[in-house]
Amino acid sequence: MKRILIVTGQSGSGKSSALQVLEDLGYYCIDNLPLALLPEIVEKLDRENNLELLALGVDVRSTRADLQEFDQVFQQLQSHGTVDIIYLTTRDQELIARFSASRRPHPLSARFKSLNECIQEEKNLLLPIQMRATVHIDTTDKSVHDLKHVLLSKLGQADNLIVILQSFGFKHGIPLDADYVFDVRHLPNPHWDLELRQYSGLDVPVQKFLESTPQASEMFQDIYGFLEKWLPAFAEGHRHYMTVSIGCTGGQHRSVYIVDRLKKALEAKWSVQVLHREMKHWS
């Protein structure tokens, strides 16, 4: 067996959807087996089926003792191939909204009175797995289509580094899956110009406005210089992806402008993908 993916994360964050995406990509998927049984199952599959790609769904329904012994299970799985852990997370309020909309009980609801208590305890139980995760995905604002796009990007091809540039608005929350976050809220804000408010950082009027300010160019050069220096080191370390998030207040003007400039500067050397997280909020 060449590649094993462990897919886990908070209940309601999209684990089942992620496994469906992986199945479409050719992975043999197994969900909700007790954690302690995984090495035995994987060994049998490896011996009898000669699988190239395997995805294992793990959640909090495994026993507490099994979850605490995750390191031992992980080491056993490594004897059968390269093991990566995909950890899905979602902001608490979004999880509460999802459970309320679906009217499905949380897996820990029999032990705790409130949904918030279930969510906090689940985080604690999954911490040993989260600490080993190689891929973190925040699904708070992602559709199933978005999740598929991110999975394709973050799993990468061979040892090629994919740079994911993401703009966002701090008022909507910091992305939980970012490797680096840069704050550009100190730049002049086109939002306060009524003629510019309707545009985004992809539009010429906003670009001209920001290009006329020395702060915007200096900030771009500093971020670009950092990435130009350190991306080769990450690539040499066999990283498949690097998520760089640029944030302003609303995620429509300044962060989008900086992301667009970075894309144009980096795409000659790197495989670059862009996500404007707040596009649905743009006026």
Feature table: binding site: 9-16, 59-62
Q: Which residues of 148-174 are buried (b: 16+ CB within 10 A; e: fewer)?
A: bbbbebbbbeeeebbbbbbbbbeebbe
**Contact indicator for 72, 102 with CB cutoff of 8 Å:** no
User: Is residue 69 exposed (0-12), middle (13-18) or buried (19+ Cβ within 10 Å)?
Assistant: middle
Task: State how far the Cα of 216 lies from the Cα of 198, in Å rounded to an integer.
Answer: 20
What are the Cα distances from residue 94, in Å, to 91, 197, 230?
Answer: 5, 28, 34
Tokens at 159, concatenated: 């040892």
Where is the binding site for ATP, in residues? 9-16
H or E stretch at 165 = strand 162-169
Where is the binding site for GTP, in residues? 59-62
Classified as helix, coil or strand, 9 is: strand
User: In this structure, are strands 82-89 and 135-138 parallel, antiparallel, or unpaired?
Assistant: parallel
Q: At what angle do helices 204-211 and 214-236 cross, to 10 degrees?
A: 100
Task: State how far the Cα of 174 lies from the Cα of 137, in Å rounded to an integer.
Answer: 13
